Amino acid sequence: MRLKDKVAIVTGASSGIGKAIADSFVKEGAKVVYSDINNIDNLPEGAIFFKADVSSSEQVKTLISEAVSVFGSLDVMVNNAGIGSQGSILEESDANFAKTIAVNLSGTFYGSREAGKYMKEQGIKGSIINISSILGQVGFQGAISYCASKGGVMQLTKAGALDLAPFNIRINAIAPGFIETEMTKEILKDENFNNLVLSSTPLNRVGSPEEIAKSAVFLASDESSYITGETLFVDGGWRAK
């Protein structure tokens, strides 16, 4: 097992990419804290649930304290919790922009900071994984807040990697293309939008949460021990065009 005896936290783990990552970590031998603002039932053996809103730095601190209290350590932090957002630069409201940044970017910052602090104090050669998006690098009309937040995640990952490298703590990001999840399934039902996505994706399909989870397992494991500050694009070839 590639993550045997490692302790991991996965935020936004009630569904979609987060759940797939958390489930894959358990299968690879990790002890996992599934965290979300929504309750999660029927957890696998070797896992616990802890409710937390990542837009609150205090709740993120408590989340990490709980993981350490139950499992005795923290080796992997996956900052996956996020929200979708639609709105152009001319129409976006202050409130919606602020909320999107608070969850997608500030939440990732809080998780990276607090996990990094703990790992440094304990001398743990840990791995922090931030979930960005292809839209963090390419623009997308009508998604100003989301693009801004996910672009920020990429830069946070680069700068954070430089800060944490002296302590042998790695921090990387994954940038998925369009993945079929609860968050995207409704918009992908729109024929015009779906056709746009497929025509922009050389592999001519949307991805699955499990395909993102495989990348997360790699970045969490010792197989990626010389990789830090990188964003791994899992986008079906979107950026190749």
Per-residue model confidence as pLDDT tens digits over 15-35: 999 999 999 999 999 999 999
Cβ–Cβ < 8 Å for 155, 137: no
pLDDT at 97: 96
Which has the higher per-residue pLDDT, 184 or 61? Answer: 61
The position carrying tokens 């809103």 is 53
Percent of the chain with pLDDT over 90: 84
> Residue 2: inside a domain, yes or no?
no
- Its domain, for residue 106, covers 7-240
Average pLDDT score over residue span 181-205? 82
The model's confidence at residue 64, banded by pLDDT at 50, 70 and 90, is: very high
Tell me whether residue 75 is in a domain: yes
* 146 flagged as catalytic: yes
CATH number at residue 179: 3.40.50.720
- End-to-end Cα spacing for the chain: 36
Q: In the chain, how many domains are there?
A: 1
Give Cα separations from 182 to 53, 101, 144, 208, 239 (angstroms): 19, 20, 21, 11, 24
Residue 1 included in any domain:
no
Residue 93 lies in a domain: yes
pLDDT at 192: 80
pLDDT at res. 38:
95
Contact yes or no for 160/116 (Cβ under 8 A): yes
Catalytic residue chosen out of the listed positions 34, 110, 118, 146: 146
Reply yes or no on whether the pLDDT at 200 is more than 80.
Answer: yes
Q: Is residue 173 part of a domain?
A: yes
The whole-angstrom separation of Cα 37 and Cα 81 is 9
CB 63, CB 10: distance < 8 Å:
no
CB atoms within 10 A of CB 175: 27
- pLDDT at residue 189 greater than cutoff 80: no
- Residue 114 domain-assigned? yes
pTM: 0.95
Residue 149 maps to a domain: yes
